[in-house]
Amino acid sequence: MKYLCLVYMEEKLLEAIPDSDCLAYDESIRATGHCLASEALQPVHTATTVRVREGRVNITDGPFAETKEQLAGFYLIEARHLDEAIQLAARIPPAQVGSIEIRPIRPIREMAKSG
Amino acid sequence: MSSNQSEKTFPELLDILYRNESRRVLATLIRLLGDFDLAEEALHDAFKAALEQWPQDGIPDNPVAWLISAGRFKAIDKIRKYSRFSTLDETTTDPTGDRVTVTEDDQDESIKDDQLRLIFTCCHPSLSSEARIALTLRVVCGLTTEEIAHAFLIAPKTVAQRIVRAKAKIRDARIPYIVPEPAQWLQRIDSVLQVIYLVFNEGYSASSGSELIRCDLSAEAIRLGRLLSDLLPKEPEVSGLLALMLLQDSRRAARTTESGDLILLEEQDRSLWNRDQISDGVKLVRQALRASGFGAYTLQAAIAAVHAESPNANNTDWAEIVGLYDVLLHIHPSPVVELNRAVAIAMRDGPEFGLKLVNGLLDQGKLKDYHLLYAAKADFHRRLHQPEQAIAAYQQALTLVRQTPERRFLERRLAELQNK
């Protein structure tokens, strides 16, 4: 089962988590085969939001929602069940200062095939 | 027995069996079928099959195992017909046909584990507290949605929604049907104990109007506590929580007047305390205290046990109680524990010492909106013969209190002072 772990944290706390820690965990979770994809994101001031309304593309500066914690990166993981996903997410370094949202992947392609 | 008689008694027998064993059957069916709703359907089909088959074949030696097998075969039958559930493990299908037989893996040990799996899953910390409570009462205790709604004074639709959403999360986020691993054990057992204690307190601190119905919640929580303690006899906090509930519940008859007014511990008629519950509770506390790894529930139970074994408030070992609060504060620091400790210190050393501690809490901005802090403060002033300050504190408490019996108690105390 696939889960997306969304890493949220206050950007001003980024310095509290050295890149080397993140890279070390990334390496270890990839080595176990649990990690399918993972990336860190540029800060939220680089974000652009796109909406299409009545055929017109609308572009605005910034993220979709202003929140205290910003999306800082993600891990797409493979886990047997939620408990294993929680264990893997708890070891993502920014979990110590921010939070990790675990979202199960909806198997939309598989559903389309079997339906 | 004539067939006429047995036709009458079988439904009754099954009724008793349903009440006593249906949760165990369900717990195993959920594991075998991998789906809560499917398992519930299968449970009912199994009892229907028993009603048809047992009058002819007699009651099987192991009715629980029979019902589990019956439920499983019925469910698999349905799956074959509708092939709704393609993910189901093929190996669970029965090669022998329709007639129910008992298989090896339906043994007692695995049934016990299934009950634990069910409790841990229903109390999974990734579910909201409300969802955990509703699901546990519905699935583990077998209460109906209407009964739960009644007990919590909410609409049945709300309860039903919570249960449906919780089951959907269990399925879609794949919350596993397992007994948690050692690394997660403490957190997970904590989550289970929390659910049980919340259910107990909902029943215990019920307002007078709905008292009768809500008493059942305390009984349900104690039943859950006993089940968990049977399943995990070596877990000290499980014994501790069960002891705490039994000791608190033992005072039920003495806690309120007939009109539903609160009676403080020191003024209760201790002959009304339930001695059986006390002796069970005390035994469990001792057992928990001997084990390593006891925690806040056990310590609170130990404090309740000191009260339970004291003839009256004056002849209570307040030094022992203060000592227990010291330990509790150390492992579980909280302002409410500090307040309770202050009350115990006032009993041991005099109200002026309690007052000093309570004012210290207020100076730190702690419990500023907690009515019981002002009630304690008022009581200290009253005992120090400072009626004006006592009146002011009772009035402050009254602006914050939410429950009717507590409000009436505070009003009575206030009136006593004002009429002097």
**pLDDT exceeds cutoff 60 at A17:** yes
Task: Tell me the ipTM for this assembly.
Answer: 0.90
Residue among A1, A87, A114 minimizing CB distance to B174: A1
pLDDT reported for residue A111:
83
A105 vs B contacts (CB less than 8 Å): none
pLDDT reported for residue B270:
95
Q: Give the H or E element holding residue A73.
A: strand A70-78
pLDDT reported for residue B93:
42
Residue among A1, A83, A104 minimizing CB distance to B180: A83
Residue among A81, A106, A114 minimizing CB distance to B174: A81
The low-confidence residues of chain B, meaning pLDDT below 50, are 1-6, 85-86, 88-99, 207-210, 212-213
- The Cα A25–Cα A35 span in angstroms is 10
Indicate which of B174, B175, B191 best probes the interface with A, i.e. most A CBs within 10 Å of its own CB: B174
pLDDT tens track for B16-47: 999 999 999 999 999 999 999 999 999 999 99
pLDDT reported for residue B402:
82
A102 vs B contacts (CB less than 8 Å): 173
Name residues whose C-beta falls within 8 Å of residue B48's C-beta, 6 or more positions apart in sequence: none
pLDDT reported for residue B160:
97
Q: Give the H or E element holding residue A104.
A: strand A99-104
- The Cα B140–Cα B387 span in angstroms is 51
pLDDT reported for residue B89:
46
pLDDT tens track for A33-42: 999 999 999 9
What is the DSSP secondary-structure string of B316-363?
A: S-HHHHHHHHHHHHHHS--HHHHHHHHHHHHHHH-HHHHHHHHHHHHH
pLDDT tens track for B290-325: 998 899 999 999 999 999 999 998 899 999 999 999
pLDDT reported for residue B3:
45
Residue among A82, A87, A106 minimizing CB distance to B175: A82
State the Cα angle at B40 between B87 and B54, rounded to 5°.
115
pLDDT reported for residue B103:
54
pLDDT tens track for A44-58: 999 999 999 999 999
pLDDT reported for residue B243:
98
What is the DSSP secondary-structure string of B252-273?
A: HHHHB-TTS-B--GGGS-GGGS
Mean pLDDT of chain A: 94
pLDDT reported for residue B242:
98
The answer to whether B178 faces chain A, any CB pair under 8 Å, is yes
- Find the closest chain B residue to A4 by CA distance: B173
- Find the closest chain B residue to A111 by CA distance: B86
Contacts of A59-68 spanning 24+ positions with Cβ under 8 A: A67/A8, A68/A10
- The Cα B244–Cα B251 span in angstroms is 12
| Cβ pair B251, B218 in contact under 8 A | no
pLDDT reported for residue B279:
97
- Find the closest chain A residue to B86 by CA distance: A114
Using a CB–CB cut-off of 8 Å, the residues of A that contact B are 1, 80-84, 86-87, 102, 104, 106, 114
Q: Give the H or E element holding residue A74.
A: strand A70-78
